[in-house]
Every structure is written in structure tokens, then in C-alpha cells.
Structure 1
């Protein structure tokens, strides 16, 4: 199955499948490369047939959108990260306006992620060098984590420890944190990339392992028990990898979205590429795995298209 939707005039930055429905996904998009102008949250139904991906709901915002995350407790809600420093909570059963909004970050919000273990909070990260902890029922952030000396591209929860998360940054480092630390100080720092670390994701089956990608054109796999060096490295490639995502069905496969205008699936055991999706014609910024259908992926690109397709990879 291969489905396609055109977000005309809006370039894709992030796409996420719903954790509640095998037919629902959403994309965060921006006009004018996210530099100036509006954003748009596109909520889509993945329906096979001539109609492809069908729009269910659409929300326009005053500034570009760079990321989104579905709520883990409310099937119709999701949060978005905006270029004006704001975070908004949307309910897709309602039209028009967000149901809540927050504006504490001083610069663009680059990532948001709901805690899928405790389910009661979410993280944000920003160009202002900080990550913040939020509860959707509280009007201000619960805690700020601000050790990085550059943009924090991603803040990602540990899949096994509901109080721990990792961040990656423009300052070439990855940091591990606990929300229970009274002083909001990092637990450890991982250094090894030679340039900005722009994406991070955890292995869902090996709780000490995570993967990063960098402007240095490499992918690295790390173990939290060994902060002195990576477990393995792939690359350098011709172009940087913009986003990395571990499979929810296997510890051995990651999906990547890249500046080579493709999305790929890799076997981390040997660094081999097992599938390449080359249907896009511009930078691919977003990639996500379905939680319901093994091997199903969604991508979004600066070519203004959102694709859903299936990858024939072994689930071992």
C-alpha cells in the first residue's frame, strides 16, 4: 500500500501516527520554509483506494509548525511546536482554535513529545537552548532544563524510565536527564559527534540504547552505561540524516529521513540499508512508524507531500 497527500503551499517538518487509531496520522507543516508566514496542522485518514490520504481536520497557525505529538491519554488531542515559541494543544473534534496554549520559550520550539510511559506530561525543546516539562492541565511549565549551549533539536523520553529523557543539541552533545532531579541538572553527557546533533530516538526493546544523527553526516548508536563512546557508527554519508526513529516492532531496525530526499530503513546490527523510499523530490524532514502495522511508515517532505507506505522488512 502506498498513499499520498499534497499539503499545497506548506512544507512538511514532522509526521506522526496516532497511538489510538491505525487510520489516523497528522503532520506539522510550514509555509516559506518555516522562515516567515503561517503553519498548518494537517490531520489525515489513511484510507486505501483512489482517494488516498483523506483530510479529516486542518488548523492554520500564525507561525510555522516544526513538530507535533499525540496525547497518550486523549485520543483526539495533540500538541504542536511553533516557530513563534508557542506550544498549542488541539482537539481534532473541534474547529478553529486550540484548547490550550503556552508561550514560555524565547525562540522556535523544535520538538514536543508526550510521555508514553507515565502519560501525564510532555516535553518541549527549543532554539533557546532549553527543554521544558509540561502538564496539559497546568498553565505554566513544571521545570526547565537548560545546560545546552545551543539549540535543543530533540527531547525524547526513555521508553522504560518514565522520569528520564535525553536531549540532543547544536552544541554537539547529548544529555541524559531525570525530571526528579531537584536542580534540573543532567545525569550525564555524551560527546562524540563532530557537529550539531539534530535527531535522537530510543530503542524500545533495549532500554539503555538510543540512536542519534548529526550534521557531521553520521548515525551513532549509544548505550547509557557507556557515556565515553558510541556502540556503533554508520557513515559519513554524502548528506546529513534529519530524523531517526527506531522500529516499535523490532530492536534491530531504524527509519531515517534525510537531506538526500529519501527515507530509508537500516539494520543497526550491520549498518545495511534494507529499504529506500525515493518518491520525494525535496528534503525529507519527517518519518514515523505505525504502531499497528509492522513495516508501515509515513514521511513528509519540503516537496509538500505526505506519503504512507509499507516496507517489507523482517520483524526480528
Structure 2
């Protein structure tokens, strides 16, 4: 008989609904949470820094280390891959801010190029000196923390870009998803994306041409993620409540991609079970076939690409949240722990019974 799962460790931040959580790539107990007052509709935001460790009675617990106030809501964050104390946040006012958690109050750098809400940021874990942002203005921007302006802008979609992520296998390959129902893959080595001089900045002249466009859904795609073990496998999910796993091996990579962009992608698997829109998907960094999802149905779920004994792909449901679950994040060091966060102003860290 299986033991019941242990209760999650919980951090409550009253008045600030959570949009995103991420574990530090340097410290196995450190997390950061991007949050907003009034559910992100109006008002300020907060960046929370938390530690996960032994609490009262030796049970795992969460403690709030510090927080930073921002003038507008925060929607996403990404830890630096080169500096253990730095991370970048995405804001509703279109700005990006770089923080050093050893300093108080003010960010060490800020950028204001997007014309609408910035909804995602991602730091490259291969080419570790760059990160990308995506915005409701339809663009994706490539940045270096040492530069005052963006390096390149992609006019990725005709509508909101909810998320953009570097491939964990190819340093110049980026995937994005949008309100238009598509997943797109871009190759930054394509001639149309390469700046023509050492000081050239393309942020005033957005560039086009995806190497591959996947018509993933007839409704909005809210999230995607690259599989960490299979280079051309992408999961996508959104308003239609279905998580789809795509094989994108037909994509062309290299200079020829801009001349002959492809449309397609093969849907390998579908995970069905969420009752409302799926807000976040993330592949496990430890197991190739394991995927976590967060949904407006107030649950965080874990799926496998292999069918279970009862014929489904669902392995586990985490349902203590009392509002929309907006984010989920696997621990990078301990495969047993998953963090979830939501509009109930709570960050949960739990060990699912798999």
C-alpha cells in the first residue's frame, strides 16, 4: 500500500499573486518568485526570494529571505547562468530588470524597449551570457546583461508572444508560442538575424522568418518547453486544455532556413485531463519522459510519455491550491521536488508520489 504524500512546504505572500517560480541553478535550496498585486491587472509587483530546507520538527519548510518592490506587476523571471546572485524579471510595464540579491532596493540594470507587457524571460544555459524576452507586442528580443540595448529583435508573431525559450541543445535556436495558436522555431544563425557590424542594434527594425511553424491549436498557446533529452521534442499547451508533444525534426537549421521555412511538426502524444486552460508546462531535468503542468483548474499535474497501467499518461495530481496555478518548476538538484505557485499567493514545494 502506497503511503499518502507528505503535505507541501508552503510560503504565503498575502496580497501578491504568483505568476512564476524558478529554482536557482547554483544553490539547491534557493527559489525566486515573480508576483503581482491585484492578480496582475493593476498595481505594483514583488520579486520574492525564498529558501527551502528543514522546518519545525525536521519537516521540509519554506522561508522568505527578502523581497523587492516594483512599480508594475512581475510576470516571469530567470536566474543568471553566470552569476549566482543575479536574475532578470519581466514586467507588465514592458521593462526588464536585472537584480543582484546581495544588494538592496534597486536593480543594477533596467531596459525599456518592449511596448507592451513582457510575459517571459529565459536565460541560455549554453551560451550563458545572453537571455531572451517575449512580449505582448509580438516580439522576441535577445539581450546581454552588459549591453544597454537589445542585440536583436524578432517579429515573431502577429499577436502576443506568451513564452520564448532557448533550446537546451542548440545555443542559437529559439522556440516561441502565441495567441495565434502557433509554435515557431527560429535559428539566430540565419543571415537575416545576424547584425552587420559590431555595434549594430536591430531592436528598431524587427526581423522575420521562422525556420518552422507548427499550427499547434485553434486557440491560444500559453506555454511550451523543450525536452531536456530529446533535442527536437517540444511540449505545448494552452486554452484548449490539451498538452501536446511535438516532434520537430523536420526543421531546417542553418542559413537555408530563412529561404525555405517549414510548416508542420508531428504530434506524438496528447495529455488530456486538465479541466481549464493549461498555463505552464515544464519537462523534468532528470527524466526524459516526465512533464509537469500548471492549470487554471487549480491543479499541478505530472505526466509521462509512456502509458500508465490504467491506460492514461497521468501520474500525479497536486491540488492544495485554491486559485489558478500559474507556474511550476522542477528542482534542478533533487528530482523528487517540484515547486508550484498560483493566484492564491502561495508557493508550494512538494515531493510527488511517483
Cα distance in 2, alignment partners of residues 197 and 275 from structure 1: 23
**Corresponding position of 1:194:** 218
**Corresponding position of 2:342:** 301
**Corresponding position of 1:107:** 116
Deviations 1:106-138 (A, max 9, x none): 000000000001111001000000100000000
The answer to whether 1:5 aligns with 2:11 is yes
Deviations 1:124-178 (A, max 9, x none): 0000001000000000000001031110000011111011010000011011011
TM (norm. structure 2) is: 0.86
The answer to whether 1:283 aligns with 2:314 is no
Matched position secondary structure for 1:183? helix
Q: CA shift at 1:235, angstroms?
A: 2.6
Structure 1 residues 48-57 or 135-144, which shifts more? 48-57
Matched position secondary structure for 2:191? coil
Say if 1:206 and 1:161 are closer, same or farther in 2 by CA, change over 3 A.
Answer: same
**Corresponding position of 1:235:** 272
**Corresponding position of 1:122:** 131
Any conservation in 2 of the 1:38–1:63 contact (CA below 8 Å)?
yes
Q: CA shift at 1:199, angstroms?
A: 0.1
The answer to whether 1:264 aligns with 2:301 is yes
The answer to whether 1:220 aligns with 2:220 is no
Select 2:182's aligned residue among 167, 173, 191: 173
Q: CA shift at 1:233, angstroms?
A: 1.8
Select 1:210's aligned residue among 218, 231, 234: 234
**Corresponding position of 1:150:** 159
Matched position secondary structure for 2:267? coil
**Corresponding position of 2:196:** none
Cα distance in 2, alignment partners of residues 78 and 104 from structure 1: 18
Q: CA shift at 1:236, angstroms?
A: 6.8
Q: CA shift at 1:228, angstroms?
A: 3.9
Unaligned runs of 5+ in 1: none
Matched position secondary structure for 1:308? strand
**Corresponding position of 1:49:** 55
Q: CA shift at 1:237, angstroms?
A: 4.1
Unaligned runs of 5+ in 2: 1-5, 194-208, 251-263
Say if 1:237 and 1:275 are closer, same or farther in 2 by CA, change over 3 A.
Answer: closer
Cα distance in 2, alignment partners of residues 22 and 236 from structure 1: 31
RMSD: 1.3
Q: CA shift at 1:295, angstroms?
A: 2.1
Cα distance in 1, alignment partners of residues 72 and 135 from structure 2: 15
Say if 1:304 and 1:247 are closer, same or farther in 2 by CA, change over 3 A.
Answer: same
Deviations 1:198-229 (A, max 9, x none): 10001000011010002111111011124343
Any conservation in 1 of the 2:274–2:297 contact (CA below 8 Å)?
no
Cα distance in 1, alignment partners of residues 61 and 269 from structure 2: 39
- Please tell me whether Structure 1 or Structure 2 has the larger radius of gyration of its CA atoms: 2
Any conservation in 2 of the 1:130–1:146 contact (CA below 8 Å)?
yes
Structure 1 residues 234-243 or 88-97, which shifts more? 234-243
Deviations 1:234-284 (A, max 9, x none): 237421111000000011110000011010110122352111111100000
Any conservation in 2 of the 1:192–1:229 contact (CA below 8 Å)?
no
Any conservation in 2 of the 1:165–1:178 contact (CA below 8 Å)?
yes
The count of residues paired between Structure 1 and Structure 2 equals 313
Show structure 1 runs of 4+ deviating over 4 A. none
Matched position secondary structure for 2:54? coil
